[in-house]
Amino acid sequence: MKKELIRVIVTGGAGFIGSHLIDGLLNLGCEIIVLDNFSTGRKENIVHVKNKIKIVECDLSIKGGWIEEFNNIDWVFHLSSLADIVPSIQNPEGYFCSNVDATFYVLEAARLANVKRFIYSASSSCYGIPDTYPTPEAADIKPQYPYALAKRMGEELVEHWAQLYNLPAISLRFFNVYGTRSRTSGTYGAVFGVFLAQKLSNKPYTVVGDGNQTRDFTYVTDIVGALITAAESNKVNKIYNVGSDTTVSINKIVYLLGGDKVNIPKRPGEPDCTYADISKIKDDLGWMPSISIEEGVEKILEDIDYWKEATVWNPDSISEATEDWFKYLDK
């Protein structure tokens, strides 16, 4: 019997996670439409598949012709969003537009088109500084900065659309996603991008505090597996943590990458540990992570040239870039 063609929209498909998801969906034989405004997503992330997908450049935070793309769509993966902490403190309006307004319009488009599945990329930053480790989905919600708040507000919209309109939606709370193509837009961002650029220019890794803090680093192809598993499932109106089932210190990352380090001041408002309790997604969806930190770092190092033109941060430039972080979060 011929398999039915699955038609998919990926918002933010030119971004880090989105571009990996496209690779996974093409392997499944899906027909794909990418909606992206290319503000932080990169054309080069999807250049290798550009003849196999439809790309629509558009602004999802305002109503527009892009809504017609939702006709006959089966699955929607809503991944587009602005990331990074410091710019969200400095420019909260942009974060509200991209992460809240856009989620509203994408939800409406999906609802009116009667899509079969809607998967939202939520963030573990909603837990702030958690009281419980590993942290379950039922833990307190304590966003510490506008990025975390806006992602959480998007998640609340998704929950509401699922409750009220029966939109078949699932939200996945990602923990510290890393992998190839994770370069940021030039702002001071996720640790792997910072360290890989430092490695390429033989500069010391800027380790925050004593480096004993740990993160639940989750490899991007495991995230893709969780996204597709959620879309294929029949669960609705659920929220799941997606993590690696362990937590790894920054000092271990430095050891795996190899090279010198320099310590910089501990940052206010950030947890000493992130560590997802993933028993809910394991039990409900049968999803499990499969890439160890050793394998993930090895993979990322194979592609280190991707970070060739990335900003190389040092203690002084970080201190300057994080001034507002310390100003507002050091309470």
- Beta strand 169-174 with 117-123 is parallel
Smaller CB distance to ligand UDP: residue 53 or 250?
Answer: 250
Reduced to 3 states (helix: H, G, I; strand: E, B; else coil), residue 123 is: strand
Smaller CB distance to ligand UDP: residue 196 or 226?
Answer: 196
Does the active-site annotation cover 275? no
Smaller CB distance to ligand UDP: residue 228 or 254?
Answer: 254
Instruction: Among 100, 157, 207, 291, indicate the residue that binds ligand UDP (CB under 6 A).
Output: 207
Per CB under 6 A, does 247 bind ligand UDP? no
Contact in structure between 17 and 182 (CB atoms under 8 Å) = no
Smaller CB distance to ligand UDP: residue 170 or 190?
Answer: 190
Q: Which one of 16-24, 158-166, 207-215, 284-292 is the stretch in contact with ligand UDP (CB under 6 A)? A: 207-215
Per CB under 6 A, does 208 bind ligand UDP? yes
Q: Which one of 28-36, 57-65, 103-111, 188-196 is the stretch in contact with ligand UDP (CB under 6 A)? A: 188-196
Question: Is the omega angle on the peptide bond into residue 271 within 30 degrees of 0, that is, cis?
Answer: no
Contact in structure between 38 and 64 (CB atoms under 8 Å) = no
Residue 279 C-beta: closest distance to ligand UDP, Å: 21
Active-site option among 95, 147, 188, 240:
147
Smaller CB distance to ligand UDP: residue 109 or 253?
Answer: 253
Single-letter amino acid, residue 17: I
Residue 126 C-beta: closest distance to ligand UDP, Å: 12
Q: How many residues bind ligand UDP (CB under 6 A)?
A: 13
Per CB under 6 A, does 270 bind ligand UDP? yes
Using alpha carbons, list the distances in angstroms from residue 134 to 99, 108, 151, 273, 279: 27, 34, 21, 9, 10
Per CB under 6 A, does 88 bind ligand UDP? no
Q: What is the 3-state secondary structure (H, E, C) of 127-142?
A: HCCCCCCCECCCCCCC
- Structure token pair of residue 98: 């991209």
Residue 104, classified by CB atoms within 10 Å of its CB into exposed (0-12), middle (13-18) or buried (19+), is middle
Residue 218 C-beta: closest distance to ligand UDP, Å: 11
Per CB under 6 A, does 206 bind ligand UDP? yes
Q: What is the DSSP letter of 100?
A: I
Question: Alpha helix locations (H) across 97-241?
Answer: 102-112, 146-165, 191-200, 220-232
Dist CA 251 CA 191 (whole Å) = 12
Residue 208 C-beta: closest distance to ligand UDP, Å: 3
Residue 224 C-beta: closest distance to ligand UDP, Å: 19
Q: Interface with ligand UDP by CB under 6 A: which residues?
A: 176, 190-191, 194, 206-208, 213, 215, 250, 267, 270, 274
Give me the active site residues, please: 147
